[in-house]
């Protein structure tokens, strides 16, 4: 019996609703689809909306409630759709607005909700607003952040108004010949920042939201929230203040790198959160005026924990329904201990405001796949963890069947972050490996596309390991995932049960208990050694016999097997969901 490291009891602020009373998004399962790589319906090698439409049954079948699509709007693709040139038009290679409407209707008919990626910080420089702004067209003149620059007293030359650096390196200011001014871009040169201090910009963006709400879209995932506002111009100097050097420039010595500065004037301003509250008001108002299902906001913000909590609301006003929990995503890696896992769960649960739902994110299109980041042996364990925590689970497409990073050669690399590196180092930077096509079956291109050439290669062998094969197998990562999402939907303990955890050696053990008395124990052996547990000494009122409801593929325990609580053997890297038998 290992040393008891700690017990932590949580009184969860959950509204004790029965399953049927819960709103669709509460406690929900959200699925991120990367449309370029999901399913190609017309054989051009690029995934598209009709492809997503063809596969919606699958999304429903694996237990999802909400689907969010990575950007699909018209874009010159300088940043794979994060550079939008028209917010109300679908990018032609993904389909048409009609295809999106058909997809929305199909989703609704299956009981799914569709969420679009909204990229409000900047447009593409090819957006009509920017071109009119460059032309000094009066309504659009101040849609972006323009400045004459300042004259350097030593050289007598014009230079940018401040030392601000873009996320993609070098000055965040770019000179425009036609307008004879600098414009601000916190990301790429082709991504000019909108000026949110201009009420017309706010109104135009509100109209974009209303445009899609009117077409049945169920909510928005809002990109890059901490970049929305910059400090106002200093009336004394007529320019913007320089940002101080980062407190630890030794970890970021290159003055052209974003991390070289401390972004006090361009990142995580209080105004960023204000506008989220305002967008929440807009969607809430829409929901009540049109008597629709709840429209939701999901927010992407790599910012302080305090800001993330604030994103939920300030006690008077509501904010994001789902402020993505990047603390856990950034905090856990394959060296993390069971105590680390425990820490991130408690930190969120015990600090979130009353009346909101926790959310858990472990992967997305910017991070190596779970099976590659945590080791393939832990693929099921990570899904068991995600699906049995209280609140909302967010799954990146492919994680449900334990997909690993795909191999993409230097020649095939397309991610700008990879291309900016060289053939020896590109794999450290490129995000293509987690974006390779979905493995549907064992036909050409794993059933993703019939094209001779797909936009990214199929990254791994798929003859025996694909969705169809996993569905046909007696047991598989995918079958385990489906059992987990089933439990979340049907068992009160997982719907709104309490959460109590214990860490023993490198094993995280927690109980989910419903008021009705139903109880489940989740055992996650994070470590690389088998551990024998006496569960009876860890929790009160435990029955002597437990039923294994679902466990990792390599646990060698069939579902339904009864085990002794007093001598439970947790295999290295394995996860288990056990039911109390009374
Ligand atoms: C976006 O595209 C639609 C449909 O083609 C068009 O009517 C609209 O004017 C465009 N908007 C902008 C701002 O370019
Ligand atoms: C003026 O230009 C010189 C030479 O490029 C540079 O070293 C110096 O930092 C500039 N001064 C200011 C105040 O930016
Ligand atoms: C832009 O318009 C303003 C206001 O009409 C004017 O002062 C300014 O000179 C114009 N700039 C250019 C480059 O035409
Ligand atoms: C915030 O959300 C809660 C829970 O849904 C609701 O009861 C409350 O009225 C909302 N507050 C505002 C200001 O909309
Ligand atoms: C842990 O992750 C690192 C970096 O991603 C990798 O090099 C290493 O092989 C991984 N170890 C295991 C056990 O998966
Ligand atoms: C995780 C994520 O979506 N990151 C995006 C944030 O916004 C920038 C600019 O829009 C994109 O380049 C990132 O991919
Ligand atoms: Ca296609
Ligand atoms: Ca901005």
Q: For the whole model, what pTM was predicted?
A: 0.93
Torsions phi, psi for 309 (to 5 deg): -65, -40
pLDDT band at 168 (very low <50, low <70, confident <90, very high): confident
Residue written as token pair 């106002």: 232
91: phi then psi, degrees, rounded to nearest 5: -60, 125
CATH number, position 143: 3.90.400.10
Q: Is the pLDDT of residue 16 over 50?
A: no
Distance 210 CA to ligand 6 centre (A): 23
Whose C-alpha lies nearest to ligand 1, atom 1? 86
Closest ligand relative to 180 C-alpha: 3
Q: Look at residue 257 and tell me whether its pLDDT is greater than 80.
A: yes
Residue-level pLDDT at 418? 87
Q: What's the CA-to-centroid distance between 180 and ligand 3, angstroms? A: 10
What is the distance in A from the centroid of ligand 5 to the CA of 335? 8
160 in a structural domain: yes
Q: Residue 540's pLDDT band (boundaries 50, 70, 90)?
A: confident
What are the DSSP calls for 101-160, one per residue?
HHHHHHHHHTT-EEEEEE--SB--TTSHHHHHHHTT-GGGTTSB-EE--EE-TTT--EE-
Q: Per the domain annotation, does 246 fall within a domain?
A: yes
Q: Give first-to-last CA distance, the chain, whole Å.
A: 25
Note whether residue 6 is domain-resident: no
Report whether 49 contacts 95 (CB < 8 A).
yes
Question: Using CA of residue 175, residue 179, residue 184, residue 185, what is the dihedral sign?
Answer: negative
Which residue range forms the structural domain that includes residue 133?
124-193+235-264
Atom of ligand 1 lying closest to residue 97 CA: 4
In-domain check, residue 175: yes
Q: Which ligand is nearest to the CA of 53?
A: 7
pLDDT bin (cut points 50, 70, 90) of residue 20 is: low
225 lines ligand 6 (CB under 6 A): no
What is the 436 CA–ligand 7 centroid distance (Å)? 15
Domain count, the chain: 1
Q: Is 527 in the pocket of ligand 5 (CB under 6 A)?
A: no
Six token digits for residue 316: 């008077």
Q: Is 188 among the domain residues?
A: yes
Look at residue 505 and tell me if it is in a domain.
no
pLDDT band at 186 (very low <50, low <70, confident <90, very high): very high
pLDDT tens across 457-514, in order? 999 999 999 999 999 999 999 999 999 999 999 999 999 999 999 999 999 999 999 9
Write the residue with the smallest CA distance to atom 2 of ligand 4: 318
Ligand having the closest approach to the CA of 364: 6
The Cα–Cα gap between 193 and 296 comes to: 25
Question: Of all atoms in ligand 1, which is nearest to the CA of residue 85?
Answer: 14
Please list, in sequence order, all residues whose beta carbon lies within 8 angstroms of the beta carbon of residue 572, skipping any fewer than 6 positions away.
377, 525, 527, 528, 529, 530
Residue in 109, 78, 101, 74 with CA at minimum distance from that of residue 88: 74
What is the crossing angle of helices 270-290 and 199-213, to 10°? 40
- Model pLDDT, residue 114: 98
Q: Mean pLDDT, the chain, as a whole number?
A: 94
Q: What are the structure tokens assigned to 235, written together?
A: 């009336």
Q: Is the pLDDT of residue 218 over 90?
A: yes
Residue 328 predicted with pLDDT over 60: yes
More confident residue, 3 or 499: 499
Q: Is the pLDDT of residue 14 over 80?
A: no
Q: Whose CA is nearest to atom 5 of ligand 2?
A: 155
> Cβ < 6 Å from ligand 3: which residues?
136, 179-180
Res 3: pLDDT: 33
Q: Residue 57 to residues 102, 112, 160, 426, 437: CA-CA distances in angstroms?
A: 14, 10, 53, 37, 19
- Ligand 1 atom nearest to CA at 88: 1
For residue 554 and ligand 4, the question of a CB distance below 6 A is answered with: no
Q: State which ligand 4 atom lies nearest to the alpha carbon of 317.
A: 13
> How far apart are alpha carbons 488 and 360 in whole angstroms?
14
Percentages helix, strand, coil for the chain (3-state, rounded to 5) are 30, 20, 50
Looking up tokens 């492919």, which residue turns up?
Answer: 398
Average pLDDT of the residues in 241-246: 97
- Enumerate residues lining ligand 2, CB below 6 A: 152, 154-155, 159
> Crossing angle of helices 379-388/477-490, nearest 10°?
10
- What is the pLDDT, as a whole number, of residue 387? 98
User: Which residue, by CA, sits nearest to atom 6 of ligand 6?
Assistant: 224
Mean pLDDT of 226-239: 96
The tokens of 303 are what? 């910012």
pLDDT for the residue numbered 7: 42
Ligand number with the minimum distance to the CA of 148: 3
- Asked whether residue 147 is domain-assigned, the answer is yes
Give the other-Cβ count within 10 Å of 503's Cβ. 26
Write out the H or E segment, with its range, that includes residue 271.
helix 270-290
N residues, the chain: 582
Backbone angles phi, psi at 299, to 5 degrees: -120, 140
Output phi, psi for 7, to 5 deg.
-115, 135
Q: Which residues contact 435 (CB under 8 A, 6 or more apart)?
A: 34, 36, 37, 365, 415, 456
pLDDT over 50 at 15, yes or no: no
Cα separations in angstroms, 60 against 53, 107, 404:
11, 9, 22
- How many secondary structure helices (H) and strands (E) does the chain include? 16, 24
Stretch 306-318: mean pLDDT, rounded? Answer: 96
- The 3-state secondary structure of 211-262 reads HHHCCCCCEEEECCHHHCCCCCCECCCCECCCCCECCCHHHCCCCCCHHHEC
Band of residue 531 on the pLDDT scale cut at 50, 70, 90: very high
For the cut 90, the answer to whether the pLDDT of residue 435 exceeds it is yes
Report how far residue 27's alpha carbon sits from residue 357's, in angstroms, rounded to the nearest whole number. 7
Best residue for ligand 6 mutational test, from 79, 119, 301 (most atoms within 8 Å of Cβ): 79
Q: Using the mean position of ligand 2's atoms as its centre, give its distance from the Cα of residue 154 in Å.
A: 7
Q: What is the pLDDT of residues 370-429, one digit of tens each?
A: 999 999 999 999 999 999 999 999 999 999 999 999 999 999 999 988 888 899 999 988
Cβ proximity of 314 and 320 under 8 Å = no
Q: Which residues are catalytic?
A: 223, 300
Spatial neighbors of 150 by CB under 8 A, at least 6 apart, are 158, 159, 160, 161, 239
pLDDT digits (tens, 9 = 90+) for 31-48: 999 999 999 999 999 999
Position in ligand 3 atom list of the atom nearest CA 180 = 13
Residue with tokens 């579902």: 559
> In this structure, are strands 150-151 and 158-159 parallel, antiparallel, or unpaired?
antiparallel
Inside any domain, residue 255: yes
User: In 3D, which of 432, 123, 120, 510 has the Cα closest to residue 278?
Assistant: 120
Q: Residue 190: is its pLDDT beyond 50?
A: yes
């Amino acid at each position: 019996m290992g040393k008891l490291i700690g017990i932590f009891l949580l009184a969860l602020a959950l509204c004790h609703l029965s399953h049927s009373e819960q709103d669709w998004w509460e406690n929900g399962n959200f699925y991120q689809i990367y449309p370029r790589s999901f399913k190609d319906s017309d054989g051009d090698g690029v995934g598209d909306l009709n492809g997503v439409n063809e596969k919606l049954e699958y999304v429903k079948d694996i237990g999802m409630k909400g689907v969010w699509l990575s950007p699909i709007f018209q874009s010159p693709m300088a940043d794979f759709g994060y550079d939008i040139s028209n917010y109300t038009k679908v990018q032609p290679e993904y389909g048409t607005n009609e295809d999106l409407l058909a997809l929305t209707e199909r989703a609704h008919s299956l009981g799914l909700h569709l969420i679009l990626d909204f990229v409000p910080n900047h447009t593409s420089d090819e957006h009509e607003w920017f071109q009119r702004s460059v032309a000094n067209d009066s309504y659009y003149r101040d849609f972006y952040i323009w400045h004459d620059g300042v004259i350097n007293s030593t050289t007598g030359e014009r230079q940018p108004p401040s030392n601000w650096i873009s996320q993609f390196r070098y000055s965040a200011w770019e000179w425009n010949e036609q307008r004879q001014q600098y414009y601000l871009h916190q990301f790429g040169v082709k991504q000019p920042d909108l000026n949110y201090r201009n009420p017309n910009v706010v109104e135009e963006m509100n109209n974009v939201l209303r445009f899609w709400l009117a077409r049945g879209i169920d909510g928005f995932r809002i990109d890059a929230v901490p970049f929305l506002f910059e400090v106002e111009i200093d009336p004394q100097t007529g320019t913007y203040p320089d940002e101080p050097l980062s407190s630890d420039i030794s970890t970021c010595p290159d003055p052209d790198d974003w991390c070289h500065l401390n972004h006090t004037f361009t990142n995580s301003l209080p105004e960023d959160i204000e506008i989220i509250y305002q967008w929440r008001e807009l969607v809430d108002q829409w929901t009540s005026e049109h008597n629709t299902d709840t429209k939701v906001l999901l927010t992407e913000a790599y910012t302080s924990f305090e800001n993330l909590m604030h994103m939920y609301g300030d006690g008077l006003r509501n904010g994001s329904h789902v402020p993505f929990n990047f603390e856990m995503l950034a905090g856990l890696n394959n060296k993390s201990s069971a105590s680390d896992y425990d820490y991130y769960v408690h930190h969120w649960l015990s600090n979130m405001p009353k009346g909101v739902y926790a959310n858990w994110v472990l992967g997305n299109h910017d991070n190596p796949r779970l099976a590659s980041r945590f080791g393939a042996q832990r693929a099921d364990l990570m899904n068991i963890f995600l699906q049995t925590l209280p609140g909302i689970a967010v799954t990146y497409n492919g994680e449900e069947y334990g997909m690993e990073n795909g191999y993409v050669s230097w020649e095939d690399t397309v991610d700008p972050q990879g291309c900016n590196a060289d053939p020896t180092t590109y794999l450290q930077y490129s995000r293509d490996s987690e974006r390779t096509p979905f493995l549907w079956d064992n036909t050409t291109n794993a059933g993703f596309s019939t094209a001779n050439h797909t936009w990214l290669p199929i990254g791994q062998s798929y003859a025996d390991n694909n969705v169809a094969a996993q569905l046909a197998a007696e047991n598989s990562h995918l079958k385990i995932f489906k059992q987990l999402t089933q439990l979340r939907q049907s068992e009160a303990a997982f719907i709104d049960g309490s959460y109590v955890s214990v860490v023993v050696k490198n094993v995280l053990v927690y109980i989910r208990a419903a008021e009705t008395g139903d109880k489940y124990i989740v055992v996650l052996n994070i470590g690389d050694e088998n551990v024998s547990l006496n569960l009876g000494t860890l929790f009160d009122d435990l029955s002597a016999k437990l039923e294994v409801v679902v466990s990792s593929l390599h646990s060698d325990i069939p579902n339904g097997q009864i085990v002794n609580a007093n001598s439970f053997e947790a295999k290295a890297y394995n996860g288990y969901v056990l039911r109390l038998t009374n």
